[in-house]
Amino acid sequence: MIFAANFKMNHTRESTKNYLNVLQQKLTAKKSADRVLIFPPATALDSYHGDFTVGAQNAYMARNGAYTGEIGLEQLEEFGIRTILIGHSERRDIFGERQEHIAEKFAYFKAQGFEIIYCIGEALEIREEGNEAVMAHLFAQFEGIDLSYEKLIVAYEPIWAIGTGRSAKTEEIASTHQALKQKLDRPLLYGGSVKPANIKEITAIEGVDGVLVGSASLDVESFSEMIFA
């Protein structure tokens, strides 16, 4: 299983360091087949070494240059960061990242050999239209994305389940993952209100290769409880 923690705009440099220290002590007991990925905010990136991988939540598709407010390859290389989240619904919806831009960013980081956690997901109105609409929407988010990239991990995160405490139902996750897997031969994570109370049920679903966790990953005890559930 893959356990990924997306801190979003939470935690500081100091609290991330403490978090990773505590996490590492626990991870010495982790199963070797399991992988743990941590995405702290950009200001907390550093050269960490442990039984986990630290990745960037976002970066711009250039080595460096006149891109006010962004970080690029040079800033990631300083800390040996080789993993990035691309296409998260908050980047799409709050920051207006369009599919074309996301696909360009994907191509750039793919060319750099990064591991890419590529996120897709539908809004509630689309889910309410039914399965066909959901799949059409999700497949549209694959436009311009090389699904055969060997360092690709996909995360399916229904937007209506993110940060709401309301995870998708087991059958919804199962059928969506099954449909995605017909097009995809890469690990597929589920994200959206994953927490200690539902982790076992979610990781037991066929076609779920791991989880991407926001809120419930912010506390190291809660996140490790999920890894060892």
Tell me which residues touch ligand PGA (CB under 6 A).
6, 157, 162-163, 191-194, 212-216
104 membership: H or E segment, kind and range = helix 99-111
- Name the residue with the smallest CB distance to ligand PGA: 214
**Termini Cα distance of the chain:** 11
Shortest Å distance, C-beta 27 to ligand PGA? 20
- Respond yes or no: is residue 157 known to be catalytic: yes
Nearer to ligand PGA, 89 or 103 (CB): 89
The helix (H) or strand (E) run that includes residue 202 is helix 199-203
| For ligand PGA, the closer CB: 73 or 106 | 106
C-beta closer to ligand PGA: residue 73 or 162: 162
Q: Distance of CA 110 to CAs 106, 114, 115, 136, Å?
A: 6, 6, 8, 25
- CA 51 to CA 82: how far, in whole Å? 15
Q: Give the shortest CB-116-to-ligand PGA separation in angstroms.
A: 15
State in angstroms the smallest separation of the CB of 77 from ligand PGA. Answer: 25
Token pair 């109370």: residue: 197
Report the relative pairing of strands 53-54 and 35-39 from DSSP bridges.
parallel
Task: Say how far apart CA 10 and CA 27 lie, in whole Å.
Answer: 22
Nearest approach in angstroms of CB 63 to ligand PGA is 27
Among 121, 98, 126, 108, which residue's Cα sits nearest to residue 62? 108
Q: Is 14 a catalytic residue?
A: no
Among candidate residues 90, 97, 122, 157, the one labeled active-site is 157
Which residue, 193 or 224, is less far from ligand PGA as judged by CB? 193
- The residue annotated as part of the active site, out of 88, 90, 97, 177, is 88
Positions marked catalytic: 88, 157
